Structure 1
Amino acid sequence: MDIRECDDHQQLYIRIATSELAAKGQLSFNKKNGVLLVLMLSISSAALFLSAVAYACRKKMKKLHKKERGSGGHTLDKDHRTHTPDKDHTTVQMENLDELSFFSLHKIVEATNNFNIDNKIGEGGFGPVYKGVLENGRVIAVKRLSETSQQGLEEFQNEVICIAKLQHRNLVKLLGFCIHGNERILIYEYMDNKSLDSFLFDETKGLLLDWPQRFHIIHGIARGILYLHQDSRLQIIHRDLKAGNILLDSEMNPKISDFGLARKFIGQDAMAKTKKVVGTYGYISPEYAVHGRFSIKSDVFSFGVLVLEIVSGKKNREFSHEAHNDNLLGHAWRLYKEGKSIELISASLRNSCVVSEVLRSIHVGLLCVQHHAKDRPTMLSVVLMLVSEGALPPPKQPAFFTEECYSEVDNVSSLEDYTITLLHGR
């Protein structure tokens, strides 16, 4: 069709080869922009893909680096404080623990010979404790959370955070921790003489603890608790002081351990209330066992029980006098009222005891186990009373005076020898 002969008002659409227009410089501006846009998008997509690949590689290398550092027992970076989710699909947040080392499970398995039963040195409410030896020859104590333990993630995290920030000669030193899948493990300095209860309540090993050593242990425990209550960066109520949680080093120096149930507080008069009472039967104060109220005076009560156990060599929760059915506290109170406190002392101590020190220790112990929290001294007063020779105030009747008094806490259920729990329905 000859387009020269077309009507001026008729629209025509002509299709020709693009190459012809391009050769004559007639390619439309819009089409040039379209081609350019497609080219730019292609380049951008390629750049994004390469960036994603590079990021994935860096992330994988960081994981490998973290694993290598863990296997070497080195300190974990701050950016790596969130660990593998546990079985409840929550994460363990370990913050500001630069001074604490992270141990790989592989390293701990090697140190304990795969948690060999021959390396087991004890067991508590948290779980079994094993002796281990690291590659450098250092001996450690490995506390592994048991699958049947009433404690768990909260107690594990609480102990790590609390004890990592506490430093005192009468507190056990935490070296590090391990989190691997559902494994929760704490690594401590090894105590050559294990726990105090292994000496106190054993007729043979009890002979190895003469009075000067026992009096030294009483002083050390008192100073450790005073540090927790008053002098530490974190004011701490331990809530589970007992002979099994007092460890002894090679020189028989006492060190307080097991901070899984510990709680921070502010102010000397601070008191808290809980519906879940945890602790050890025989060491728990009456206001805590019955009403769920705890304070620093709860620890003072536990310390008083410990003092009477150290002097007598008898366990409070198992003691019952054949003549009047008094428990250990009631028996000590009855002897005090009769002016015969010295008769409370263990027979193995009669040749080594200093009578004035024994009587003062019993008196201080009775002041600590008085029924009402307000009547009990603070640990500062306790330390001063132990080292001074001044007159002491007369104690009032102790809590749980007789065996029958334990009926007050019938609703408290015992969990083996380690913890008790009092639950109230919602």
Structure 2
Amino acid sequence: MNLLCLLFPMCACSFSLFSLVILGRPESTFAPIPASVLPSKQEPISLFSSQMEAVSPGVAVVRVVHHQDLNKRILIALIVASTLLGGLLLFLLCFWICRQKILKNSNGKSKQNQEPTKALSLSPIVDRFSSLWMAGKKGSVAVIEYRLLEAATNGFQESNVLGEGGRGRVYKACFDEKFLAAVKKLDDVGAEAEREFENEVDWLVKIRHQNIVSLLGYCIHGETRLLVYEMMQNGSLESQLHGPSQGSTLTWNLRMKIAIDVARALEYLHENCNPPVVHRDIKSSNILLDSDFNAKLSDFGLAVTTASQNKNVKLSGTLGYVAPEYLLEGKLTDKSDVYAFGVVLLELLIGKKPLEKMSPTRCQSLVTWVMPQLTDRSKLPNIVDPVIKDTMDLKHLYQVAAVAVLCIQPEPSYRPLITDVLHSLIPLVPIELGGSLRVT
């Protein structure tokens, strides 16, 4: 349409120019010239001239000459007008092609610019229900009305409980037939819990990674605080390993996939965030599994930046996963997360909890019990979780055990960086599960 709009006035201008050339010629060229004006009879220059003079009167000869001149002018005008029109059409064609290319590039750039925005929303909830229940925003996370969460969880009924933690319960929320979410309800929030709630929201607004759980929204209702997460259909790693199924759904390859997923999340926190982030509460209950057993790290209420390294930080975390230097001296570094990851790796290998209750007054540490046996190749296959026993290549088992031993070293400087841990585990996981192992 834009091309036609430009073409029409250009054609009109060319036609006008052509008309001016034709209509603007002198009228005298068509008028007969009186015979009196003509010169007296002269000798013909040639035989051809003599014949022409004999056949036609003098005035006709003059008219023939004038018609030839007119035809030349018309031909020249036609050539000029055609050239101009052709040039205009060529110019307009080039202009249209260039304009289409520019529009295509700008559309491509706008789509690229829109993709992070779509990645930031991470949920069809914000897109499909924003007009109904998004009252405001904090960063890119929706502020949700309490009544909508109440309706989605059937009034927070017991039948909708997915799990329970130290701060409250997690409920299944159904917003429509296709979309589910998990709602963590924190009741009677004190000063410390309020800080953790705000910390969780602040961090998950900033942090976006495929192996970190997505926060869809939050709600503040009186003394109650609620956090809405993406739904993780297979619950936590803790419930899979130590719940009713006792790890029966987790094959060796799935366990190794979960390990590298968590390692990737920690690598992102330690290496790619600026400033780097220490999670401070790595444990199996904070590792969530989706329908395909992709693992995602959750619960960032205790997360801090590495500005807290080598400083006394108030002890927080879960016994059994807390690194010795943090537990005894209050020193926190990214190696504290590596220690906790090593404990999770032991859970995946052995199938036992970090702290096993032996009697009402006595607990046994998994790290203390397993350490001597991890380095003994004759004993190691016998302490592996019975669910996966004899299902893996022994070389792979020994390599994973060696990585776990390095991660749980008492001295932080002896522990590897999480990046090194990740690169050690990737070759043990099949390509289709996110590793580099080619299964034959």
TM-score range, shorter chain: 0.5 to 0.7
1:307 to 327, 345, 349: 345
Q: Structure 2 stretches of 5 or more lacking a match?
A: 1-128, 429-440
Deviation at 1:170, TM superposition (A): 0.8
> What residue in structure 2 maps to residue 9 of structure 1?
none
Q: Is the 8 A contact 2:252 2:392 kept in 1?
A: yes
Deviation at 1:251, TM superposition (A): 0.2
User: Which structure shows the higher helix fraction?
Assistant: 2
> What residue in structure 1 maps to residue 309 of structure 2?
270
2:270 to 229, 232, 244: 229
Tell me, in whole angstroms, the C-alpha distance in 2 between the residues paired with 1:136 and 1:74.
Answer: 20
1:72 to 115, 118, 132: 132
Tell me, in whole angstroms, the C-alpha distance in 1 between the residues paired with 2:426 and 2:176.
Answer: 44
1:139-158 matches, cutoff 5 A? 139-147=180-188, 151-158=192-199
> What residue in structure 1 maps to residue 151 of structure 2?
110
> What residue in structure 1 maps to residue 417 of structure 2?
378
Q: Is the 8 A contact 1:131 1:142 kept in 2?
A: yes
2:252 to 211, 219, 237: 211
> What residue in structure 2 maps to residue 59 of structure 1?
none
Tell me, in whole angstroms, the C-alpha distance in 2 between the residues paired with 1:363 and 1:298.
Answer: 18
Tell me, in whole angstroms, the C-alpha distance in 2 between the residues paired with 1:316 and 1:378.
Answer: 22
Tell me, in whole angstroms, the C-alpha distance in 1 between the residues paired with 2:157 and 2:330.
Answer: 39
Tell me, in whole angstroms, the C-alpha distance in 2 between the residues paired with 1:349 and 1:128.
Answer: 32
> What residue in structure 2 maps to residue 134 of structure 1?
175
1:208 is paired with a residue whose SS is: coil
Deviation at 1:205, TM superposition (A): 4.2
What do you get for the CA RMSD once the two structures are aligned?
Answer: 2.4
Cα distance change, pair 250–377 in 1 and its aligned pair in 2 (3 A) = same
> What residue in structure 2 maps to residue 100 of structure 1?
141
Which letter maps to 1:310?
Answer: L
Cα deviations across residues 40-96 of structure 1 (Å, max 9, x unaligned)? xxxxxxxxxxxxxxxxxxxxxxxxxxxxx988233625xxxxxxxxxxxxxxxxxxx
Corresponding residue pairs, total: 296
Deviation at 1:265, TM superposition (A): 2.2
Q: TM-score, normalised by structure 2?
A: 0.63
Tell me, in whole angstroms, the C-alpha distance in 1 between the residues paired with 2:326 and 2:149.
Answer: 37
Deviation at 1:126, TM superposition (A): 2.4
Which letter maps to 1:346?
Answer: D
1:247 to 288, 292, 296: 288
Q: Structure 1 stretches of 5 or more lacking a match?
A: 1-68, 78-96, 390-426
Tell me, in whole angstroms, the C-alpha distance in 1 between the residues paired with 2:375 and 2:254.
Answer: 27
Tell me, in whole angstroms, the C-alpha distance in 2 between the residues paired with 1:170 and 1:138.
Answer: 20
Flag as ranges the 4+ runs of structure 1 deviating above 4 A.
148-151
Tell me, in whole angstroms, the C-alpha distance in 2 between the residues paired with 1:182 and 1:147.
Answer: 6
Cα distance change, pair 348–136 in 1 and its aligned pair in 2 (3 A) = closer
1:152-191 matches, cutoff 5 A? 152-191=193-232
Tell me, in whole angstroms, the C-alpha distance in 1 between the residues paired with 2:177 and 2:389.
Answer: 45
Which letter maps to 1:201?
Answer: H
Deviation at 1:314, TM superposition (A): 0.4
Tell me, in whole angstroms, the C-alpha distance in 2 between the residues paired with 1:223 and 1:157.
Answer: 25
Q: Is the 8 A contact 1:132 1:142 kept in 2?
A: yes
Larger Rg: 2
> What residue in structure 1 maps to residue 408 of structure 2?
369
Deviation at 1:354, TM superposition (A): 2.4
> What residue in structure 1 maps to residue 161 of structure 2?
120
Whose relative contact order is higher, 1 or 2, with alpha carbons under 8 Å and at least 6 apart?
Answer: 1
Cα distance change, pair 205–317 in 1 and its aligned pair in 2 (3 A) = closer
> What residue in structure 2 maps to residue 58 of structure 1?
none
Tell me, in whole angstroms, the C-alpha distance in 2 between the residues paired with 1:101 and 1:284.
Answer: 33
Q: Is the 8 A contact 1:70 1:104 kept in 2?
A: no
Q: Is the 8 A contact 1:75 1:98 kept in 2?
A: no
Which letter maps to 2:293?
Answer: M
1:348 is paired with a residue whose SS is: coil
